[in-house]
């Protein structure tokens, strides 16, 4: 007999995840910022990083959102191939939308979602294609992973179509150009986790860049050795630009760089850069068909199956 995952359990879990993401900065990012603070030689940038760490402790202790701009809630759902949801995926999406609306009032979250033309606001962060839900699948599993990410939604992302002849030096130039522009113009709140999507088509590399920034933990490395080496080189470059925390002079602009790859057209090399700012807000839970809910700090999004190259 197939045991179904109750839609109400998904709703309750998503509501709790939304609160945790808004309030509790993940421990891997906290540690990354602490290490950046300890390395920082600029007095003012070091002070800013120290205050960030202190503010996060206050937010956790008082159960209040750690930033006044609570971003745009979105969900990443990894569905086990054998998982069955009561009411199907329509019920799952309804549960996520209801959890978002309820959490906006109860946490509270700032109701950031508006109609792009009329600016109509339902005051609950729910609307046309809001919140976004991105899916992936996992073989030999009967559970569902739900990750909520509160992303700022304004700046911090750029894209460029490079060509094979640009190679890695072209990627590095684009990376440095983007970070300098965002640092000087205040287009991202550093220090950031920087996600780089390379390959695929424009929409694919943009998606991978955001997932790399938001869904990988600080300290993880791409299993492709060329990508892992590029991650290290880009992080070093970013921290030698001369811009530190919140745009002050320093060496703490990048906490980590995460590179993700997709096979692409032979004539091009699309690259997308996404900066997940100091409000590194994410939370994950695995929901089992027996009703157990396992809260985790690692979304586990980039599984071996997700990165598969062959047919199987």
Note the pLDDT tens digit of each residue in 218-264. 999 999 999 999 999 999 999 999 998 988 899 999 999 999 999 99
Q: Is the peptide bond before 64 cis (omega within 30 degrees of 0)?
A: no
φ/ψ region of 9 (left if φ > 0, alpha if ψ in -120 to 50, else beta) reads: alpha
Alpha carbons 231 and 60: distance in angstroms, whole number: 31
Given this model, what pLDDT does residue 229 score? 98
Q: The whole model's pTM is what?
A: 0.94
Across 45-52, average pLDDT: 94
Alpha carbons 151 and 108: distance in angstroms, whole number: 16
The runs of H, that is alpha helices, within 111-197 are: 167-185
CB count in 10 Å sphere of residue 24: 18
The burial class, CB within 10 Å (0-12 / 13-18 / 19+), for 172 is middle
Alpha carbon dihedral 50, 56, 57, 62, in 10-degree steps, equals: 140
Across 44-67, average pLDDT: 94
pLDDT digit string (tens) for 119-136?
999 999 999 999 999 999
The runs of H, that is alpha helices, within the chain are: 7-23, 27-39, 43-62, 88-106, 167-185, 202-215, 225-238
């Amino acid at each position: 007999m197939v045991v179904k995952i109750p839609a109400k359990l998904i709703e309750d879990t998503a509501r709790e995840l939304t609160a945790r993401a808004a309030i509790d900065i993940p421990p891997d990012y906290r540690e990354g910022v602490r290490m950046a603070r300890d390395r920082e030689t600029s007095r003012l940038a070091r002070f800013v990083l120290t205050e960030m760490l202190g503010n996060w402790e206050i937010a956790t202790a008082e159960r209040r959102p750690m930033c006044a701009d609570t971003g745009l809630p979105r969900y990443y759902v990894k569905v086990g191939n054998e998982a069955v949801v009561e009411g199907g995926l329509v019920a799952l999406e309804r549960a996520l939308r209801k959890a978002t609306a309820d959490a906006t009032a109860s946490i509270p979250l700032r109701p950031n979602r508006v109609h792009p033309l009329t600016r109509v606001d339902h005051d609950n962060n729910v609307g046309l294609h809001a919140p976004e839900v991105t899916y992936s699948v996992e073989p030999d599993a009967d559970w569902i992973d739900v990750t909520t990410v509160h992303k700022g939604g304004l700046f911090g992302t750029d894209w460029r179509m490079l060509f094979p002849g640009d190679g890695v030096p072209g990627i590095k130039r684009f990376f440095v150009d983007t970070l300098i522009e965002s640092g000087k113009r205040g287009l991202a709140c550093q220090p950031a986790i920087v996600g780089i999507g390379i390959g695929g088509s424009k929409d694919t590399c943009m998606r991978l860049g955001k997932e790399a920034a938001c869904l990988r933990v600080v300290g993880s490395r791409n299993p492709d050795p060329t990508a892992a080496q590029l991650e290290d080189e880009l992080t070093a470059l970013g921290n030698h630009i001369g811009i530190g925390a919140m745009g002050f002079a320093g060496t703490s602009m990048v906490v980590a760089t995460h590179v993700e790859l997709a096979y692409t057209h032979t004539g091009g090399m699309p690259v997308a850069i996404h900066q997940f700012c100091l409000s590194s807000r994410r939370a994950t839970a695995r929901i089992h068909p027996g009703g157990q809910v396992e809260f985790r700090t690692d979304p586990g999004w980039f599984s071996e199956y997700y990165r598969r190259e062959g047919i199987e």
